[in-house]
Amino acid sequence: MNDSKTELHFLLILLAGIAVLAFFIFKPFIYALVLAIVFATVFQPIHEKTLIFTRGQKSLSALLATISVLVVVIVPLAFLGTQIVQEASGFYSSITDGGGSAELSSGVRDTIQMLATFFPVPIDSIDVNQYLEQGLSWLLQHLGPIFANVAKAIAGVFIFLIALYYLFQDGKKFKTAIVALSPLSDVHDETIFSKLELAINSVIRGNLAIAIIQGMLTAVGFTFFGVPNAILWGSVAAIAALIPGIGTALVILPAILFLYMTGETMPAAGLLLWGVAAVGLVDNFLGPKLVERGMRLHPFLILLSILGGLSVFGPVGFLLGPIILSLLFALLEIYSLINKAR
Protein backbone atom coordinates (compact mmCIF):
# COMPACT_ATOMS: atom_id res chain seq x y z
CA MET A 1 0.00 0.00 0.00
CA ASN A 2 1.44 3.35 -1.07
CA ASP A 3 0.77 6.36 1.07
CA SER A 4 0.53 9.50 -1.08
CA LYS A 5 2.65 11.62 1.30
CA THR A 6 5.32 8.93 1.58
CA GLU A 7 5.39 8.60 -2.18
CA LEU A 8 5.74 12.36 -2.59
CA HIS A 9 8.53 12.58 0.00
CA PHE A 10 10.39 9.70 -1.63
CA LEU A 11 10.05 11.37 -5.03
CA LEU A 12 11.35 14.68 -3.66
CA ILE A 13 14.36 12.98 -2.02
CA LEU A 14 15.09 11.09 -5.24
CA LEU A 15 14.71 14.29 -7.25
CA ALA A 16 17.06 16.19 -4.91
CA GLY A 17 19.68 13.45 -5.15
CA ILE A 18 19.53 13.33 -8.95
CA ALA A 19 19.62 17.15 -9.07
CA VAL A 20 22.84 17.15 -7.00
CA LEU A 21 24.40 14.58 -9.34
CA ALA A 22 23.29 16.61 -12.35
CA PHE A 23 24.88 19.72 -10.82
CA PHE A 24 28.25 17.97 -10.50
CA ILE A 25 27.93 16.75 -14.09
CA PHE A 26 27.36 20.29 -15.37
CA LYS A 27 29.69 21.98 -12.85
CA PRO A 28 32.73 22.13 -15.20
CA PHE A 29 30.62 24.07 -17.70
CA ILE A 30 28.53 26.19 -15.34
CA TYR A 31 30.34 29.46 -16.06
CA ALA A 32 30.13 28.93 -19.82
CA LEU A 33 26.41 28.15 -19.58
CA VAL A 34 25.65 31.17 -17.39
CA LEU A 35 27.58 33.48 -19.70
CA ALA A 36 25.73 31.99 -22.67
CA ILE A 37 22.42 32.89 -21.01
CA VAL A 38 23.68 36.41 -20.34
CA PHE A 39 24.84 37.06 -23.90
CA ALA A 40 21.78 35.38 -25.41
CA THR A 41 19.69 37.89 -23.47
CA VAL A 42 21.81 40.90 -24.40
CA PHE A 43 22.07 39.96 -28.09
CA GLN A 44 18.42 38.95 -28.45
CA PRO A 45 17.65 42.09 -30.54
CA ILE A 46 20.43 41.04 -32.94
CA HIS A 47 18.96 37.55 -33.15
CA GLU A 48 15.53 38.96 -33.91
CA LYS A 49 16.98 40.99 -36.78
CA THR A 50 18.82 37.96 -38.17
CA LEU A 51 15.56 35.99 -37.89
CA ILE A 52 13.87 38.59 -40.08
CA PHE A 53 16.83 38.63 -42.48
CA THR A 54 16.75 34.83 -42.88
CA ARG A 55 12.94 34.82 -43.24
CA GLY A 56 12.30 32.77 -40.13
CA GLN A 57 15.03 30.13 -40.53
CA LYS A 58 15.85 29.50 -36.86
CA SER A 59 19.05 27.52 -37.40
CA LEU A 60 20.60 30.03 -39.79
CA SER A 61 19.55 33.06 -37.74
CA ALA A 62 20.95 31.46 -34.55
CA LEU A 63 24.22 30.76 -36.37
CA LEU A 64 24.50 34.36 -37.60
CA ALA A 65 23.73 35.75 -34.13
CA THR A 66 26.35 33.45 -32.57
CA ILE A 67 28.95 34.54 -35.12
CA SER A 68 28.16 38.18 -34.32
CA VAL A 69 28.86 37.53 -30.61
CA LEU A 70 32.10 35.78 -31.55
CA VAL A 71 33.27 38.70 -33.69
CA VAL A 72 32.05 41.55 -31.49
CA VAL A 73 32.83 40.14 -28.02
CA ILE A 74 34.96 36.98 -27.86
CA VAL A 75 37.75 37.90 -30.29
CA PRO A 76 38.29 41.44 -28.89
CA LEU A 77 38.18 40.13 -25.30
CA ALA A 78 40.75 37.43 -26.09
CA PHE A 79 43.07 40.00 -27.64
CA LEU A 80 42.52 42.48 -24.80
CA GLY A 81 43.06 39.87 -22.11
CA THR A 82 46.28 38.70 -23.72
CA GLN A 83 47.56 42.28 -23.94
CA ILE A 84 46.68 42.99 -20.31
CA VAL A 85 48.53 39.89 -19.11
CA GLN A 86 51.57 40.71 -21.26
CA GLU A 87 51.74 44.32 -20.09
CA ALA A 88 51.16 43.35 -16.46
CA SER A 89 53.84 40.65 -16.68
CA GLY A 90 56.36 43.04 -18.21
CA PHE A 91 55.53 45.78 -15.74
CA TYR A 92 55.72 43.35 -12.82
CA SER A 93 59.13 42.11 -14.00
CA SER A 94 60.45 45.66 -14.28
CA ILE A 95 59.24 46.45 -10.76
CA THR A 96 60.63 43.29 -9.15
CA ASP A 97 63.93 43.39 -11.06
CA GLY A 98 64.34 47.09 -10.42
CA GLY A 99 65.73 47.75 -13.88
CA GLY A 100 62.77 49.51 -15.44
CA SER A 101 61.13 50.94 -12.36
CA ALA A 102 63.51 53.82 -11.61
CA GLU A 103 61.68 56.37 -13.74
CA LEU A 104 58.28 55.31 -12.47
CA SER A 105 59.32 55.28 -8.83
CA SER A 106 61.06 58.63 -9.23
CA GLY A 107 58.01 60.20 -10.84
CA VAL A 108 55.62 58.83 -8.24
CA ARG A 109 57.92 59.86 -5.40
CA ASP A 110 58.30 63.38 -6.80
CA THR A 111 54.51 63.57 -7.02
CA ILE A 112 54.17 62.47 -3.40
CA GLN A 113 56.73 65.06 -2.32
CA MET A 114 54.80 67.75 -4.17
CA LEU A 115 51.58 66.66 -2.45
CA ALA A 116 53.39 66.67 0.88
CA THR A 117 53.73 70.45 0.64
CA PHE A 118 49.93 70.67 0.81
CA PHE A 119 49.00 67.56 2.81
CA PRO A 120 50.77 65.78 5.68
CA VAL A 121 51.85 62.70 3.69
CA PRO A 122 54.26 60.32 5.51
CA ILE A 123 56.67 59.86 2.58
CA ASP A 124 59.08 57.55 4.37
CA SER A 125 56.34 55.02 5.08
CA ILE A 126 55.25 54.76 1.42
CA ASP A 127 56.89 51.94 -0.53
CA VAL A 128 55.80 52.53 -4.13
CA ASN A 129 57.34 49.34 -5.49
CA GLN A 130 55.69 47.21 -2.83
CA TYR A 131 52.20 48.49 -3.63
CA LEU A 132 52.77 48.09 -7.37
CA GLU A 133 54.09 44.55 -6.90
CA GLN A 134 51.07 43.57 -4.80
CA GLY A 135 48.56 44.99 -7.27
CA LEU A 136 50.18 43.47 -10.34
CA SER A 137 50.67 40.14 -8.57
CA TRP A 138 46.93 40.02 -7.85
CA LEU A 139 46.12 40.83 -11.48
CA LEU A 140 48.44 38.14 -12.83
CA GLN A 141 47.14 35.62 -10.31
CA HIS A 142 43.56 36.03 -11.55
CA LEU A 143 44.11 36.59 -15.28
CA GLY A 144 47.23 34.56 -15.96
CA PRO A 145 45.79 31.04 -15.47
CA ILE A 146 43.13 31.69 -18.12
CA PHE A 147 45.67 32.22 -20.87
CA ALA A 148 48.22 29.77 -19.46
CA ASN A 149 45.78 26.87 -19.87
CA VAL A 150 44.95 27.42 -23.52
CA ALA A 151 43.22 24.06 -24.03
CA LYS A 152 40.82 24.66 -21.14
CA ALA A 153 40.06 28.17 -22.36
CA ILE A 154 39.33 26.94 -25.89
CA ALA A 155 37.06 24.20 -24.53
CA GLY A 156 35.18 26.76 -22.43
CA VAL A 157 34.69 29.06 -25.41
CA PHE A 158 33.49 26.10 -27.51
CA ILE A 159 30.88 25.10 -24.90
CA PHE A 160 29.84 28.75 -24.59
CA LEU A 161 29.29 29.12 -28.34
CA ILE A 162 27.35 25.84 -28.64
CA ALA A 163 25.13 26.79 -25.68
CA LEU A 164 24.64 30.27 -27.12
CA TYR A 165 23.60 28.82 -30.49
CA TYR A 166 20.93 26.59 -28.94
CA LEU A 167 19.69 29.37 -26.68
CA PHE A 168 19.16 31.54 -29.74
CA GLN A 169 17.47 28.70 -31.60
CA ASP A 170 15.39 27.09 -28.83
CA GLY A 171 15.33 29.73 -26.10
CA LYS A 172 11.55 30.03 -26.14
CA LYS A 173 11.17 26.25 -25.77
CA PHE A 174 13.49 26.25 -22.75
CA LYS A 175 11.51 29.10 -21.23
CA THR A 176 8.19 27.32 -21.77
CA ALA A 177 9.54 24.15 -20.15
CA ILE A 178 10.77 26.05 -17.09
CA VAL A 179 7.42 27.82 -16.70
CA ALA A 180 5.60 24.48 -16.93
CA LEU A 181 7.75 22.98 -14.15
CA SER A 182 7.62 26.04 -11.88
CA PRO A 183 5.21 25.91 -8.91
CA LEU A 184 4.57 29.64 -9.27
CA SER A 185 1.75 31.04 -11.33
CA ASP A 186 2.48 31.82 -14.98
CA VAL A 187 2.11 35.53 -14.24
CA HIS A 188 4.83 35.43 -11.59
CA ASP A 189 7.04 33.29 -13.80
CA GLU A 190 6.75 35.81 -16.62
CA THR A 191 7.50 38.60 -14.15
CA ILE A 192 10.66 36.81 -13.01
CA PHE A 193 11.83 36.31 -16.59
CA SER A 194 11.13 39.93 -17.53
CA LYS A 195 12.91 41.23 -14.41
CA LEU A 196 15.87 38.93 -15.06
CA GLU A 197 16.10 40.16 -18.65
CA LEU A 198 15.86 43.76 -17.46
CA ALA A 199 18.55 43.16 -14.83
CA ILE A 200 20.98 41.60 -17.31
CA ASN A 201 20.46 44.34 -19.88
CA SER A 202 20.78 47.05 -17.24
CA VAL A 203 24.10 45.71 -15.99
CA ILE A 204 25.67 44.93 -19.38
CA ARG A 205 24.31 47.84 -21.42
CA GLY A 206 24.28 50.30 -18.54
CA ASN A 207 26.91 50.48 -15.82
CA LEU A 208 29.42 48.06 -17.32
CA ALA A 209 29.10 49.49 -20.83
CA ILE A 210 29.84 52.99 -19.54
CA ALA A 211 32.79 51.73 -17.49
CA ILE A 212 34.24 49.82 -20.45
CA ILE A 213 33.86 52.83 -22.77
CA GLN A 214 35.60 55.06 -20.23
CA GLY A 215 38.37 52.48 -19.85
CA MET A 216 38.84 52.33 -23.63
CA LEU A 217 38.97 56.12 -23.90
CA THR A 218 41.49 56.22 -21.06
CA ALA A 219 43.68 53.67 -22.87
CA VAL A 220 43.46 55.71 -26.09
CA GLY A 221 44.50 58.87 -24.25
CA PHE A 222 47.37 57.13 -22.48
CA THR A 223 48.62 55.71 -25.79
CA PHE A 224 48.43 59.06 -27.57
CA PHE A 225 50.13 61.05 -24.80
CA GLY A 226 52.86 58.52 -24.08
CA VAL A 227 51.83 56.85 -20.82
CA PRO A 228 53.32 53.32 -20.77
CA ASN A 229 51.19 50.17 -20.45
CA ALA A 230 48.10 51.97 -21.73
CA ILE A 231 45.89 48.87 -22.07
CA LEU A 232 46.73 47.73 -18.53
CA TRP A 233 45.84 51.11 -17.03
CA GLY A 234 42.78 51.36 -19.26
CA SER A 235 41.46 48.13 -17.73
CA VAL A 236 42.14 49.53 -14.25
CA ALA A 237 40.30 52.72 -15.25
CA ALA A 238 37.29 50.64 -16.34
CA ILE A 239 36.99 49.22 -12.82
CA ALA A 240 37.70 52.61 -11.22
CA ALA A 241 34.90 54.13 -13.34
CA LEU A 242 32.42 52.30 -11.11
CA ILE A 243 33.53 54.22 -8.00
CA PRO A 244 30.94 56.95 -7.31
CA GLY A 245 32.10 60.55 -7.69
CA ILE A 246 35.75 59.81 -8.45
CA GLY A 247 35.79 57.17 -11.17
CA THR A 248 38.52 57.27 -13.81
CA ALA A 249 40.14 60.28 -12.09
CA LEU A 250 41.84 57.74 -9.79
CA VAL A 251 43.84 56.57 -12.80
CA ILE A 252 44.02 59.66 -15.02
CA LEU A 253 45.17 62.18 -12.39
CA PRO A 254 48.21 60.13 -11.28
CA ALA A 255 49.13 59.69 -14.95
CA ILE A 256 48.90 63.45 -15.50
CA LEU A 257 51.09 64.10 -12.44
CA PHE A 258 53.54 61.42 -13.61
CA LEU A 259 53.90 63.07 -17.04
CA TYR A 260 54.30 66.50 -15.45
CA MET A 261 56.91 65.38 -12.92
CA THR A 262 58.94 63.62 -15.64
CA GLY A 263 59.11 66.83 -17.69
CA GLU A 264 56.31 66.04 -20.17
CA THR A 265 54.33 69.25 -19.60
CA MET A 266 52.44 69.40 -22.91
CA PRO A 267 51.39 65.73 -22.88
CA ALA A 268 50.24 66.21 -19.27
CA ALA A 269 48.07 69.17 -20.31
CA GLY A 270 46.75 67.23 -23.29
CA LEU A 271 45.85 64.23 -21.13
CA LEU A 272 44.07 66.54 -18.70
CA LEU A 273 41.92 67.95 -21.51
CA TRP A 274 41.31 64.46 -22.86
CA GLY A 275 40.24 63.21 -19.44
CA VAL A 276 37.73 66.04 -19.02
CA ALA A 277 36.40 66.19 -22.58
CA ALA A 278 36.37 62.58 -23.77
CA VAL A 279 36.26 60.44 -20.63
CA GLY A 280 34.48 62.68 -18.14
CA LEU A 281 31.58 63.61 -20.43
CA VAL A 282 30.59 59.98 -21.05
CA ASP A 283 28.71 59.93 -17.74
CA ASN A 284 26.84 63.12 -18.58
CA PHE A 285 25.77 62.35 -22.15
CA LEU A 286 26.03 58.63 -22.88
CA GLY A 287 25.26 57.37 -19.38
CA PRO A 288 21.64 58.56 -19.16
CA LYS A 289 20.89 57.10 -22.60
CA LEU A 290 22.15 53.66 -21.63
CA VAL A 291 20.54 53.31 -18.20
CA GLU A 292 17.32 55.29 -18.54
CA ARG A 293 15.20 52.19 -19.31
CA GLY A 294 16.89 49.76 -16.99
CA MET A 295 17.21 49.00 -13.31
CA ARG A 296 19.14 51.73 -11.55
CA LEU A 297 21.69 50.35 -9.08
CA HIS A 298 23.98 52.51 -7.01
CA PRO A 299 27.49 52.59 -8.54
CA PHE A 300 29.02 51.69 -5.17
CA LEU A 301 26.97 48.49 -5.03
CA ILE A 302 28.03 47.72 -8.59
CA LEU A 303 31.68 48.19 -7.59
CA LEU A 304 31.34 45.89 -4.56
CA SER A 305 29.57 43.26 -6.66
CA ILE A 306 32.37 43.34 -9.24
CA LEU A 307 35.15 43.07 -6.65
CA GLY A 308 33.28 40.32 -4.82
CA GLY A 309 32.50 38.57 -8.09
CA LEU A 310 36.17 38.63 -9.09
CA SER A 311 37.12 37.19 -5.71
CA VAL A 312 34.53 34.38 -5.78
CA PHE A 313 34.21 33.50 -9.47
CA GLY A 314 37.48 34.76 -10.95
CA PRO A 315 37.53 36.95 -14.09
CA VAL A 316 34.00 35.91 -15.07
CA GLY A 317 32.85 37.52 -11.82
CA PHE A 318 33.24 40.90 -13.53
CA LEU A 319 29.91 40.05 -15.19
CA LEU A 320 28.36 37.58 -12.75
CA GLY A 321 28.74 39.79 -9.66
CA PRO A 322 26.58 42.71 -10.87
CA ILE A 323 24.10 40.36 -12.56
CA ILE A 324 23.56 38.35 -9.37
CA LEU A 325 23.13 41.59 -7.43
CA SER A 326 20.57 42.86 -9.96
CA LEU A 327 18.73 39.54 -9.87
CA LEU A 328 18.60 39.71 -6.07
CA PHE A 329 16.88 43.10 -6.19
CA ALA A 330 14.55 41.87 -8.93
CA LEU A 331 13.50 38.84 -6.86
CA LEU A 332 13.02 41.01 -3.77
CA GLU A 333 10.72 43.23 -5.79
CA ILE A 334 8.74 40.20 -7.00
CA TYR A 335 8.52 38.85 -3.45
CA SER A 336 7.17 42.20 -2.30
CA LEU A 337 4.50 42.13 -5.02
CA ILE A 338 3.48 38.55 -4.14
CA ASN A 339 3.38 39.36 -0.42
CA LYS A 340 1.18 42.41 -1.01
CA ALA A 341 -1.14 40.40 -3.27
CA ARG A 342 -1.82 38.02 -0.39
Neighbour count for residue 203 (Cβ, 10 Å): 29
Tell me which H or E stretch contains 115.
helix 102-116
CA distance 203 to 167: 20
Q: Which of 78-92, 140-154, 178-192, 195-209 shows the highest mean pLDDT? A: 178-192
| Long-range contacts formed by 235-239: CB under 8 A, 24+ apart | 235/80, 235/84, 237/279, 238/211, 238/212, 238/214, 239/211, 239/215, 239/303, 239/306
Model pLDDT, residue 187: 79
Neighbour count for residue 211 (Cβ, 10 Å): 25
Computed over its alpha carbons, how large is the radius of gyration of the chain? Answer: 24
Q: Which residues contact 53 (CB under 8 A, 6 or more apart)?
A: 61, 64
Q: What is the mean pLDDT of residues 79-85?
A: 72
Judge whether 244 and 300 are in contact, CB under 8 Å. yes
DSSP string, 8-40: HHHHHHHHHHHHHHHHHHHGGGHHHHHHHHHHH
User: Higher-confidence residue: 219 or 84?
Assistant: 219
Provide, rounded to the nearest whole percent, the portion of the chain with pLDDT above 90.
12
CA distance 76 to 79: 5
Q: Interior CA angle at 19 toward 13 and 21, to 5°?
A: 110
Model pLDDT, residue 233: 82
